[in-house]
Amino acid sequence: MHSRILVLGLGALGTASASRPCAPHALPEGTWAAPKEGEVRSPCPMLNVLANHGFLPRDGKNISKTIARAAFKDGLNLDPDFSDIMFDPAVLTNPYPNQTTFDLDHLNRHNLLEHDGSLSRADAYWDDSQVFNTTVYEETLTYFQTDTVDVKSAAAARMGRVLSSSRTNPEYYLNATAESISFGETGAYILALGDFETGTVPLERVRMMFEEERLPTELGWSKGTEAATAAQLFNLTQRIIDNTEFPALRARMNGGIHAGVMAKHH
Ligand code: HEM
Ligand code: MG
């Protein structure tokens, strides 16, 4: 670990002396670094990953639609329409009106996009819902019993967290939109780090995203050769919903996801 930091440090110095003489701290895009004092992060592990690698601004601030599109393209090869469906609501979390950008910590505003029953964060009732929470995350891991996460185990983890949260948090709240978004988050990590056709992803990649907020390149992952689209995200998310063991929720969610797809394509 130390040698990696040293190598990265030297790399940054090399870049600085060649092209950016005034910014010896400016790491090249793609290089991972933990956030520094004053740099903000979010309750979204993947946005934090992209900021840690410098695909998003490392300070986590002033993210515009253009910046998000480029970050998603360069970091994960996600199509601009994939980026936009996630970016557009994010701008509304900016506490100032009529903004075209957001900061990562704006996303922590409870019950806008941030919701209860997360996979790796405690509910806002208990703790800071932005930061990684070991207890919650270990509960999630109990649903991943093999080294591959598939739509069934991913759905079980999602539902498991919703159920334990609703049983324990006296202020538990998750409306249909947030439920739908939360399934979309699960669809997104499988799509970006795994395989669309089979709906599977190696567990160790998912763990690296959550635990280190780092792209799992050293585990053999690379971004897809073809851009992942919003239509694929909807399709995969639907398959996860179809694999939940709660028929009532399945029925409710089917309406939600279809509505989303219709809005997008008609
Ligand atoms: C969670 C926003 C892109 C994966 C979240 C949360 C927010 C958010 C606010 C917190 C919800 C909660 O758990 O309370 C965004 C925005 C994005 C974006 C604004 C784009 C502009 C992505 C992408 C991926 C992703 C591209 C994966 C490829 C996830 C996952 C979670 C999550 C897996 C669940 C974390 C957990 O349950 O602990 N996102 N996200 N997100 N996001 Fe994102
Ligand atoms: Mg949450």
Residue predicted with more confidence, 219 or 2: 219
pLDDT score at 68:
98
ipTM comes to 0.99
Does residue 140 line the site of ligand 1, with CB under 6 A? Answer: no
Whole-number Å distance, alpha carbon 81 to ligand 1 midpoint, is 16
pLDDT score at 8:
38
Residue 8's nearest CA partner among 194, 161, 214 is: 214
Give the whole-angstrom CA distance, residue 123 versus residue 19.
45
Does residue 162 line the site of ligand 1, with CB under 6 A? Answer: no
Nearest CA, atom 7, ligand 1: 44
Nearest CA, atom 5, ligand 1: 44
| Lowest mean pLDDT, pick from 5-14, 88-97, 183-192, 222-231 | 5-14
pLDDT score at 20:
45
What is the arithmetic mean of pLDDT over 120-125?
98
**Residue 177 banded pLDDT, cuts 50, 70, 90:** confident
Nearest CA, atom 34, ligand 1: 185
Does residue 189 line the site of ligand 1, with CB under 6 A? Answer: yes
Q: What is the pLDDT of residues 130-152, one digit of tens each?
A: 999 999 999 999 999 999 999 99
Give the whole-angstrom CA distance, residue 230 versus residue 191.
10
Whole-number Å distance, alpha carbon 114 to ligand 1 midpoint, is 9
Residue 60's nearest CA partner among 97, 34, 95 is: 34
**Residue 14 banded pLDDT, cuts 50, 70, 90:** very low
pLDDT score at 134:
98
pLDDT score at 26:
84
When the pLDDT of each residue in the chain is averaged and rounded to a whole number, the result is 88
What is the total residue count of the chain? 266
Q: What is the pLDDT of residues 15-57, one digit of tens each?
A: 333 444 445 568 999 999 999 999 999 999 999 999 999 999 9
Q: What is the pLDDT of residues 206-215, one digit of tens each?
A: 999 999 999 9
